[in-house]
Amino acid sequence: MRENNRFFGNFTKLLILNFGLTLLAVLLVLPFTWMILASLKLLEEVELDSWLPEVCQWYNYVEVFNMRGILFGRWYWNSIFVAAWVTFLQVLTSSMAAYSFSRLEWKGRDKIFFLYLATMMLPGLVMMIPNYQNMIRLHLVDSYVGLILPSAFSAFGTFLMRQFMMNIPKSLDEAAEIDGATKWQLFWDVVLPLSRPALVTLTIFTFIASYNNLFWPLVLMKSPDKYTLPIGMLAFSSSQGQQTNLLMAAVTMSVLPMILIFVLMQKQLVKGIMLGGVKG
pLDDT exceeding 70 applies to what percent of the chain?
Answer: 89
Length of the chain: 280
State the pLDDT confidence band at 136, using cuts at 50, 70 and 90.
very high
- The CA radius of gyration of the chain, in Å to the nearest whole number, is 24
Q: Please determine, for residue 277, whether its predicted confidence score (pLDDT) is greater than 90.
A: no
79-85 contacts at long range (C-beta below 8 A, 24 or more positions apart): 79/211, 79/228, 79/229, 79/230, 79/254, 80/211, 80/257, 81/144, 82/144, 82/147, 82/148, 82/210, 82/217, 82/228, 83/207, 83/210, 83/211, 84/207, 85/144, 85/148
Question: Which sign, positive or negative, has the C-alpha torsion 20, 22, 25, 26?
Answer: negative
pLDDT digits (tens, 9 = 90+) for 40-67: 888 888 877 777 888 888 998 998 888 8
pTM: 0.84
**Residue 207 pLDDT level (bands cut at 50, 70, 90):** very high
Instruction: Look over the chain and give the mean of its residue pLDDT values, rounded to a whole number.
Output: 85
The answer to whether residue 26 scores a pLDDT higher than 70 is: yes
Residue 85: predicted pLDDT: 96
Buried b (16+ CB within 10 A) or exposed e, 96-107: bbbbbbbbeeee
Instruction: Tell me which amino acid residue 75 is.
Output: W
Give the model confidence (pLDDT) of 114-134 as tens digits.
998 888 888 877 888 899 999
Higher confidence at residue 227 or residue 280?
A: 227
Nearest-CA neighbor of 225 among 80, 2, 33, 76?
Answer: 76
Smallest CA-to-CA distance from 273 within 187, 174, 184, 160 is with 160
Residue 12: its pLDDT value, please?
80
Mean pLDDT of 140-167: 91
The residue among 140, 139, 203, 194 whose CA lies nearest residue 167 is 194
pLDDT of 266 over the 60 cut: yes
pLDDT value, residue 140: 92
Buried b (16+ CB within 10 A) or exposed e, 172-190: ebeebeeeebeeeebbeeb
Helices in the chain by DSSP H: which ranges?
2-38, 43-46, 59-66, 72-103, 109-118, 124-137, 144-148, 155-165, 171-178, 183-185, 192-194, 196-211, 215-220, 229-239, 244-276
Question: What pLDDT does residue 278 have?
Answer: 46
Residue 279 — pLDDT band, cuts 50, 70, 90? very low
The residues, ordered by sequence, that sit 6+ positions from 244 with a Cβ below 8 Å of its Cβ are: 38, 43, 46
Looking at the predicted structure, is the pLDDT value of residue 280 above 60? no
CA distances 272 to 142, 165, 176, 249, Å, are 36, 11, 24, 33
Amino acid at site 107: K
Longest dimension (CA), the chain: 79
Q: Nearest to residue 147, comparing CAs of 218, 229, 233? A: 218
Question: Mind listing the pLDDT tens digit for each residue in 158-204?
Answer: 998 998 898 888 888 888 888 888 888 888 888 998 888 889 889 98
Is the Cβ–Cβ distance between 235 and 120 less than 8 Å? no
* Per-residue confidence band for 220, with pLDDT thresholds at 50, 70 and 90: very high
What percent of the chain has pLDDT above 90?
A: 29
Q: How far apart are the first and last CA of the chain?
A: 46
Q: Give the pLDDT confidence score for residue 271 in this predicted structure.
A: 63
